[in-house]
Chain A
């Protein structure tokens, strides 16, 4: 109990902060912060597995998040029959061509000695393959995108419940990580960072511009939900009576029947959105707890010990007969898959998929700040990092607004510098994040909750 005191204290403070937002601002804001904190926590757990367990740097988090989001779209949206009839055959043809191309390349790689000729023939194969695929796909893509472009214009998905996409998102992200890992894992750490960052940009470019698959920058809206809709809740009897029971004290003060009914309606509307958010919180919490148990088990298992050995001394681990390359690839896939789950969760919560919103600042660098600030190598630290940093990211604007007003209280409102500062309040969050990261790196390089390995 005592040795975990700092963990318990840190989490209690965090919970109190979120509760305070609920009391002073509103429960709606508090819950949406809490939900995104949970999603961020899943992302940081993924990054922490790679960085904290194995020392692999992955700046491609944005790409895996977006792939998770793509999975949510492909799983939950109903298939667009018309588009499939128009261009489905061409697309399937293309898919088949890609598979053939990959198999041929694999065949060449397996059966021929490494030589210049082999390299050039593979390059020629890829280039002609891309041209053939483009020519085959072009008419199909045009036809698909012409099908009712205002609302569909894409192939749609499988029409399954969106919750399945959490697993499929993990598979997608894991698949991408396999390819990236094969290509880039041999690089030195800072090059791995740049390479993964650039590859994730390529992924975003594809998701943004292949309209037949994702609707691109036109966004996919109105995805199915695992939680009930607010509008339905507001007309459901049991929910209204629940809200009535919950607020009976407040309602009984009002004498006038009409007024009481109006107040109740208002409470039901507020309550419905809180209830929906609570449903999401429950779902996300389940995911976080399952992942936490699994990652903790992994950390203290022989496999976790091996990963730490590889991280701390690659040559020694190699000499002990551990396959470093294989383990690096494995952990790269595992971590990225977890990030993929988070991406699918994010789209599930928002109910919309906006490829234009995936930017490295928000989905890569911010997640890294979370990992470093929270404590790399410690799962509780990583989750805490997700909570603290996301909380500050959201609350930075009100906090800095308060500080500006506090320090410039003597200066009249019309002062241009004060007005300029107040206008640029949204950008203080970058300052806060940067300074936070620099201070933690300097004075507490292992994070708020440092890695602590007990030998049992």
Chain B
């Protein structure tokens, strides 16, 4: 019985939260990696673009709520996502037209692109804060829990409860669907394949008649979808605050690089690598050992490798280690 309790404890405090957080990071990391692989720059406006998409979705959610439209047990935001995505894509295309296009035609070095994306970051941050303000916003409605900890305890008679939030299930489900669709698109359709070809070797791709304008357009559309959904899922699960989204850029970058930048599948797994290592290394295992060890060997301390304050630092340290020992990332992306 103690063993089952220990497993439930780990599920509740490590596995499910890490899987959720990892999914959110994974979507962002695929966004970064696609922009890097196809448009060839590190986009420092990642976090703020995600917050723009989330903001658009929140505005539509409020509108639907004021109309009295809802999805019952599911959050209204799911209904608003498509509209948020459209706004996000329009914003991205607008920025591409007025900012990035010029440098693409000039064939500027990646550093210059990165600098320009910092300008975009400032502007997007201002736009989001001017429209919706800098404060913390929750826009979740509908049923909060699928399984409550107390109900679970009563149902199974175990000591440990397992709480399953609906946002966690939605996040994991949506991520699986979206990522499978994306990989199907990249590997099976003609446009997807030409995107991969363009990413591998630009000149050869142009020679074989691939239209660069179309590739760029499709890339921004996919990026808009990923950024909005990733942002909304994070906002539903935690809350929406522009500053947090800006900060999330850092673990997202870490995930993309750890997975091997330019490689969408690597970025997807990188998100989970970062999320699991953050949570595994900062969790206090005292209770876990109390269940599995005999009473005489029970630990006195918290058995915590690092304090939770270092959550972010963990992912960055992983990144630094990866950069030193395997600069192309775990799953062979582009060599840096």
Q: Bound state CA distance, A424 and B118, in angstroms?
A: 21
In the complex, the answer to whether A430 meets B312 with C-beta atoms within 8 Å is no
* Nearest Cβ on chain B to A122's Cβ, whole angstroms: 11
In the complex, the answer to whether B336 meets A191 with C-beta atoms within 8 Å is yes
In the complex, the answer to whether A441 meets B336 with C-beta atoms within 8 Å is no
B110 at the interface (CB under 8 A from A): yes
Q: Bound state CA distance, A411 and B307, in angstroms?
A: 54
A372 at the interface (CB under 8 A from B): yes
* Nearest Cβ on chain B to A191's Cβ, whole angstroms: 5
Binds B, one of A169-177, A238-246, A432-440: A432-440
Partner of B102, one of A190, A197, A442: A442
Q: Bound state CA distance, A195 and B327, in angstroms?
A: 11
Q: Bound state CA distance, A209 and B125, in angstroms?
A: 28
**Known: A202-B316, A209-B307. Contact between A365 and B122, CB under 8 A?**
yes
B297 at the interface (CB under 8 A from A): no
Interface residues of A in 176-229 (CB under 8 A from B): 183-184, 187-191, 193-195, 197-199, 201-202, 205-206, 208-209
In the complex, the answer to whether A191 meets B323 with C-beta atoms within 8 Å is yes
B210 at the interface (CB under 8 A from A): no
Interface residues of A in 406-456 (CB under 8 A from B): 421, 423-424, 427-431, 433-435, 437-438, 441-442, 445
Partner of A198, one of B115, B126, B320: B320
In the complex, the answer to whether B125 meets A430 with C-beta atoms within 8 Å is yes
* Nearest Cβ on chain B to A89's Cβ, whole angstroms: 21
In the complex, the answer to whether B115 meets A183 with C-beta atoms within 8 Å is no
Chain A 68-80 near chain B by CB (<8 Å), digits 1 or 0: 0000000000000
* Nearest Cβ on chain A to B106's Cβ, whole angstroms: 10
B121 at the interface (CB under 8 A from A): yes
Task: Give the chain B neighbours of A205 by CB distance below 8 A.
Answer: 309-310, 312-313
Interface residues of B in 103-128 (CB under 8 A from A): 109-116, 118-127
A361 at the interface (CB under 8 A from B): yes
Q: Bound state CA distance, A198 and B44, in angstroms?
A: 13
Partner of B114, one of A138, A190, A202, A430: A190
**Known: A198-B254, A430-B126. Contact between A193 and B114, CB under 8 A?**
yes
Task: Give the chain B neighbours of A191 by CB distance below 8 A.
Answer: 42, 257, 323, 327, 336
Partner of B110, one of A189, A201, A369: A189
In the complex, the answer to whether B123 meets A438 with C-beta atoms within 8 Å is yes
B289 at the interface (CB under 8 A from A): no
A57 at the interface (CB under 8 A from B): yes
* Nearest Cβ on chain A to B135's Cβ, whole angstroms: 11
In the complex, the answer to whether A441 meets B123 with C-beta atoms within 8 Å is no
Task: Give the chain A neighbours of B144 by CB distance below 8 A.
Answer: none
B142 at the interface (CB under 8 A from A): no
A301 at the interface (CB under 8 A from B): no
Most buried by B among A368, A424, A435: A424
Count of residues in A whose CB is under 8 Å from the partner chain: 43
A121 at the interface (CB under 8 A from B): no
**Known: A198-B320, A199-B320, A201-B312. Contact between A424 and B122, CB under 8 A?**
no
In the complex, the answer to whether A434 meets B126 with C-beta atoms within 8 Å is yes
Task: Give the chain B neighbours of A423 by CB distance below 8 A.
Answer: 133
Partner of A424, one of B42, B129, B323: B129
Count of residues in B whose CB is under 8 Å from the partner chain: 46
Task: Give the chain A neighbours of B119 by CB distance below 8 A.
Answer: 434-435, 437-438, 441
Most buried by A among B41, B115, B316, B319: B115
In the complex, the answer to whether B316 meets A431 with C-beta atoms within 8 Å is no
In the complex, the answer to whether B120 meets A434 with C-beta atoms within 8 Å is yes
* Nearest-neighbor residue (CB-CB) of A366 within chain B: B122
**Known: A184-B323, A190-B114. Contact between A434 and B42, CB under 8 A?**
no
Task: Give the chain A neighbours of B327 by CB distance below 8 A.
Answer: 187, 191
Task: Give the chain B neighbours of A184 by CB distance below 8 A.
Answer: 320, 323
Chain A 300-324 near chain B by CB (<8 Å), digits 1 or 0: 0000000000000000000000000
In the complex, the answer to whether B325 meets A194 with C-beta atoms within 8 Å is no
* Nearest-neighbor residue (CB-CB) of B308 within chain A: A209
In the complex, the answer to whether B134 meets A427 with C-beta atoms within 8 Å is yes
Task: Give the chain B neighbours of A442 by CB distance below 8 A.
Answer: 102
Interface residues of A in 381-410 (CB under 8 A from B): none
Interface residues of B in 77-120 (CB under 8 A from A): 99, 102, 109-116, 118-120
In the complex, the answer to whether A208 meets B250 with C-beta atoms within 8 Å is no
B331 at the interface (CB under 8 A from A): no
In the complex, the answer to whether B336 meets A199 with C-beta atoms within 8 Å is no
Q: Bound state CA distance, A71 and B72, in angstroms?
A: 57
**Known: A190-B110, A434-B121. Contact between A202 and B313, CB under 8 A?**
yes
Q: Bound state CA distance, A269 and B202, in angstroms?
A: 68
Interface residues of B in 279-336 (CB under 8 A from A): 301, 307, 309-310, 312-313, 316-317, 319-320, 323-325, 327, 336
* Nearest-neighbor residue (CB-CB) of B116 within chain A: A441
B152 at the interface (CB under 8 A from A): no
Partner of B42, one of A193, A202, A372, A427: A193
Nearest first, the 3 closest Cβ-Cβ pairs linking A and B are: A434-B122, A434-B123, A431-B126
Known pairs A188-B110, A190-B110, A191-B336; list 7 more (Cβ under 8 Å).
A57-B114, A195-B320, A198-B316, A205-B309, A205-B313, A428-B130, A441-B119
Which residues of B does A touch, CB under 8 Å?
Answer: 41-42, 99, 102, 109-116, 118-127, 129-130, 133-134, 246, 250, 253-254, 257, 301, 307, 309-310, 312-313, 316-317, 319-320, 323-325, 327, 336
Give 19 CB contacts A-B under 8 Å: A57-B111, A190-B42, A190-B110, A190-B113, A193-B114, A194-B42, A195-B320, A199-B320, A201-B316, A208-B309, A361-B246, A421-B130, A423-B133, A427-B130, A427-B134, A430-B125, A438-B120, A441-B119, A445-B112
